[in-house]
Amino acid sequence: MSKTDDMVSELEAPAAIWNPTATVNWSLPFTPVFGAWLQMLNWGSLGETELAEISKKWFYASLGMLLLYAIAGVALAGTEAGLLLLRVLPLFYLIIWYLGSARPHMKYVKERFGNDYNRRPWKKPLLAASGLTVMYFALQFLVGALFGSAT
């Protein structure tokens, strides 16, 4: 292969990204915060800055939803309405995020690259998500214990 062929194949090769379908699957245990963050980074790697900004908005919205779940969990603890809200709202938001952000991302990568793209490794994001999930639940437990003992 000539030097020119090497340069052409480098230009055509997509940047390394996380598998879009896996970002959705891992968002089931780690929430859309995780998927939106990785998809934002994927869009950036693909040079799609406008789409990266949209994923950034989904990331912030997902963080807001986590805060809402935590507040609702404390404020509505032990009520039927609270249990229903905390079962339905996360699922509803996951579906909205999937349809509005994740699915278009998956479609874009599939149409543009098929299965032929460089994949980023999962070790670091999964370790980070696991640690942050443990911290989130520990903080939620502590806040619940503080408010529970005050009543």
Q: Smallest Cα–Cα separation from 10: which of 146, 134, 118?
A: 118
Question: Which pTM value belongs to this model?
Answer: 0.82
The pLDDT value given to residue 129? 96
Secondary structure of 92-144 as H, E, C letters? HHHHHHHHHHHHHHHHHHHHHHCCCCCECCCHHHHHHHHHHHHHHHHHHHHHH
Higher pLDDT pick, 128 / 5: 128
pLDDT in tens, 47-99: 999 999 999 999 999 999 998 888 887 777 778 877 788 889 999 999 999 99
CA 101 to chain centre: 10
The pLDDT value given to residue 94? 97
The pLDDT value given to residue 148? 64
Minimum mean pLDDT range among 18-27, 50-59, 101-110, 135-144: 135-144
The pLDDT value given to residue 5? 46
Q: Mean per-residue pLDDT for 118-132?
A: 96
> Residue 151 pLDDT more than 50?
no
Local confidence band at 2 (pLDDT 50, 70, 90 cut-offs)? very low
The pLDDT value given to residue 31? 95
The pLDDT value given to residue 8? 41
Residue ranges per structural domain of the chain: 22-150
Local confidence band at 126 (pLDDT 50, 70, 90 cut-offs)? very high
Q: Mean per-residue pLDDT for 106-121?
A: 94
What count of other Cβ atoms lies within 10 Å of the Cβ of residue 113? 14
